[in-house]
Every structure is written in C-alpha cells, then in structure tokens.
Amino acid sequence: MVAKGKAIASSVWGRAWCLNLERYSHYMGRLPQGRTLLRRGAVSSLQITAGRVIALVEDERSHEVTLRVQACSEERWGMLQERCGDTVDSLLDLLQGRISASVMAVMTDFDNGLFPEPSELRCVCTCIDDADLCKHAAAALYGVAVAFDAQPELLFMLRQVDAGALVKADMTGAAAGTLDEGALEGIFGFELDVDL
Ligand SMILES: [Zn+2]
C-alpha cells in the first residue's frame, strides 16, 4: 500500500480522514513518521471491517496494528441524516464525494460529524512504543485514508452506519416497506409520521 501523489489521499473522504487525524495535537508527534512509513510502502496489509482495522507494518520487523473505532452513535447518525436533508441524489455521488459543500461540512464537522474523535479510537501495536499513538499505528491510520480512496464505502462500514440512509432514493425504498417502523425510526433518528 502506497500513497500515490503528493498528498496521502486524493479522494474527498480520504482527505477528510487525514484532516480529522491532523486536528489532534497529541497525535502530531507520530503522524509525520507514520506518513513516512506509509510512503515507504511499510504498510504491507490493511483490512477494514466494522469498527476495526488490522494492519501489518514493516519497520525493521513486522508489527501488527489493531485500530478499534467506535460505531457512530444512533443519535449522531440520526442527526447527520437530518442535517444532510434530502440533498444526496445517489449512493455513487455520496461515495465519490459529489455532494454539496453544506453536506460535506455536516459530515466533516469536528464536533458532530462522521469522523471519529480520539476518544472513539483505540490503537494497539505489537511494538514497545508506549506513546498513545506509535508510528506504526499512525502509518495504519494514514493507510485507512488510502483505502478510502479506492473504497470510500469502507468509511461508513468502519463507523457501522448505512451510507444508503443518506440518499434520497434509498429513503423512498425503505419507506416502501422493506423495514418495519421501529427499524426506520432507529435509522432516521426521529419518530415517523407515515403510513407504511
Ligand atoms: Zn508500533
């Protein structure tokens, strides 16, 4: 896994992930080293599943990094959907970042957006560095941004939310009867006032 261009990530979601990392000053010590490792191709594998990233980082020896990312809370996800409103036309547009500046601002809001805060991230590495974030974990975190370039849907999977819920057409599909009312209330985060 390597960063292709000058920036680590080139996609909207990948860049937003990097910006989210870089806003936390206590990460700053290791982030540049993480970027260097990634650029050297040290992240030899990276798997993203719901709430978890497992990466292998080669740095003299092989280190396994596990990143645990808390699920976006139902309350937060409901709020994000409300704030995005009815403006995302398709899942493809959403994943490729073809969304309005206002939707992007909602999603990347530092306090109430989709990206995890440090308290929602736990990094464990097999190295002996006892910093909150070792350089291997930093490399893995940047590797996540590169993965989002290729598969932006992984961001939503990592946060354990259904990206389709932000899309107009999918909302219609859901209301057409594929989910029961209780499930829909969970997704939309407010009480439904429609006949299903
Ligand atoms: Zn480490």
Give the pLDDT of residue 141: 96
Question: What is the Å distance from ligand 1's center to 127 Cα?
Answer: 4
Question: What is the Å distance from ligand 1's center to 58 Cα?
Answer: 10
pLDDT digits over 75-124, tens only? 999 999 999 988 899 999 999 999 999 999 999 998 899 999 988 999 99
pLDDT digits over 123-140, tens only? 999 998 877 789 999 999
Question: What is the Å distance from ligand 1's center to 136 Cα?
Answer: 4
CB-count burial class (<10 Å; 0-12, 13-18, 19+) for 114: buried
Dihedral sign of CA atoms 163, 45, 125, 2 in order: negative
61-65, 119-123, 137-141, 152-156, range with the lowest pLDDT: 119-123
Single pTM value for the model: 0.82
Question: What is the Å distance from ligand 1's center to 114 Cα?
Answer: 26
Give the pLDDT of residue 195: 32
Q: Residue 136: phi, psi to the nearest 5?
A: -70, -40
Question: What is the Å distance from ligand 1's center to 96 Cα?
Answer: 32
Question: What is the Å distance from ligand 1's center to 9 Cα?
Answer: 22
16-20, 26-30, 38-42, 61-65, range with the lowest pLDDT: 26-30
Question: What is the Å distance from ligand 1's center to 65 Cα?
Answer: 7
Question: What is the Å distance from ligand 1's center to 179 Cα?
Answer: 43
